[in-house]
Structure 1
Amino acid sequence: MKKNYFAFMLVIALGLVLTACSGANSNNAANNNTSANKEEQAVTTKTTKEMVDGMLAKIEQPALIEMTGDMVKQMYYIDPALLEQYTIMSPMMNIKTNEIAVFKVKDAKDIAAVEDGIKKRAGDVQKTFETYLQDQYEIAKNYKLVTKGSYVFFVISEQADQFVSEFDTFFEQK
C-alpha cells in the first residue's frame, strides 16, 4: 500500500513539475469562488477529519486518499507549522480533479497565507487538466474556497455547492 501511495504521489509531483514548466498562467478561478466573511466568529466541535469524513459520507466522490506530511507544503504551498490541524483528500488516480481539504489555522493572521496556497494549488490542478481532460478542467475552474473563523475549506467537485452547504452545517454562529 505504501509503495502504491508513493508511486501515486510521485506521478502527481512529476505531473505538477511538468505543468509548472509549461508556462501556462490562468488565474480566472480566483474570481469565481465563494469566500465567507472572515470577521464572523464560527465555532465547531468537530475536527477537520470529522468534517471531511462527514461530508464524504453524505456526498459520494471518486476514490480519494489522504494527503499528509510534506505533501501539504509541496502541493499546497502552506507551511504546516501555521496549522493547528488539517485534512486533505485528493484523487487516488490522476484522472479526476476531485479534492477536499479543511485547514484550521493556529493564528487568524495566517488565513491569507493559507488561502493563497489553496489558490496556487487550484491553479496547479487546472494546469494539469487544461489540455488533458476538458471536463475535469471545467470542474477544477469552479472550485470553492470558504473561510469560517479559523477554518479554511477548499473543494473541487461536481457537487462543490453541496459540499459548501454541508461544511456550513458544522458551525454555530456566535
Structure 2
Amino acid sequence: MKKMIVIMLTMVIALVISACSGDKSSTTEDKTTTIETSHSAKEMTEQMVTEVEQPALMELTAEELTNLYNLDATKLEDFSVRVPMMSVKTNEIAIFKVKDVNDVAEVLAAVKQRAENVMKQFEQYLPDQYENAKNHKIVTKGNYVLFVISEQADKLITVYDRFFEEK
C-alpha cells in the first residue's frame, strides 16, 4: 500500500513539474522557396546517426510513414524517417523533402501532430522519455523539414545544417 502511494505521489509531482515547464519544443524556419543539397534524405540521416550516437533506430517505409505521421508520401520528393526499434525510447529523426514548397505547412502540421502523439504515448509511461519528446526540434529550410527527438538534438541539427553549406 505504501509503495502504491509513493508511486502515485511521484507521478503527481512529475505531472505538476511537467505542466509548469510549458512547451519547450522549438521550431526554426527558413522561408525561402526551394533549397538543394547533393545528399538524399537517407544519406543525411545515416550521416547524422553515424556522427551522433543514437539508440537503435529503424527506417520507415512509405506505408509506415502514412500510419505514423498521417502524411501522404506522394507529396514528398524524398524522405527518411528513423524511429526506435524498441518502444522504450522516443528518439526519432525525420527528414522530408517536399515536392511543392506550398505543402511544407501540411508536413509541419503532420510533424507537430507526431510530436504530440509521442509525448502522449510516454506521458504516463517513462518520464525521462516524455521529457525527451517534449524537447523535440523542428527545422525547416525551404522545402526541407527536419524533425528530431533526441537528447543530442542540437548536435544532430549541426550535422544536418552542414549538408546545406556544402558547395
TM-score (norm 2): 0.83
**Partners in 1 of 2:165 and 2:149 — Cα distance?**
24
Whether 1:58 aligns to 2:46 is no
CA displacement at 1:34 relative to structure 2? 2.5
Is the CA contact 2:92–2:149 (under 8 Å) kept in the aligned structure 1? yes
Whether 1:153 and 2:155 are equivalent positions in the alignment is no
User: 1:32 deviation in Å?
Assistant: 2.6
CA root-mean-square deviation? 1.9
Q: Does 1:93 align with 2:95?
A: no
Instruction: Tell me whether 1:45 sits opposite 2:7 in the alignment.
Output: no
**3-state SS in 2 of match to 1:154:** strand
Of the three residues 152, 155, 161, the one matched with 1:162 is: 155
- Would the aligned equivalents of 2:33 and 2:101 in 1 still touch at CA under 8 Å? no
Q: In 1, Cα distance between the equivalents of 2:130 and 2:75?
A: 30
Out of 125, 128, 143, the residue aligned to residue 121 of structure 2 is: 128
Query: Larger deviation: 74-83 or 91-100?
Result: 74-83
User: What amino acid sits opposite 2:72 in the alignment?
Assistant: D
Displacement of 1:164: 1.0
Residue identity opposite 1:67 in structure 2:
L
Q: Deviations over 1:9-58 (max 9, x none)?
A: xxxxxxxxxxxxxxxxx9x64x6312222227533110000100010110
Give the superposition deviation at 1:69: 2.2
* Distance (Å, rounded) in 1 between the aligned partners of 2:151 and 2:33: 27
Larger Rg computed on CA atoms: 2
2:74 paired with 1:81: yes
Q: Is the 8 A contact 1:43 1:172 kept in 2?
A: no
Distance in 2, Cα, partners of 1:129 & 1:41 = 35
Distance (Å, rounded) in 2 between the aligned partners of 1:172 and 1:62: 27
Q: Unaligned regions of 5+ residues in structure 1, if any?
A: 1-25
The one-letter code matched in structure 2 to 1:66 is: E
**Within 2, Cα distance between the matches of 1:115 and 1:48?**
17
Tell me, in whole angstroms, the C-alpha distance in 2 between the residues paired with 1:128 and 1:113: 23
- Contact 2:34/2:101, CA 8 A, preserved across alignment: no
Identity %: 48
Cα distance, 1:170 vs. partner?
Answer: 0.4
Distance 2:114 2:164 in 1: 25
CA distance in structure 1 between the partners assigned to 2:129 and 2:90 by the alignment: 6
- Equivalent of 1:171, from 158, 164, 167? 164
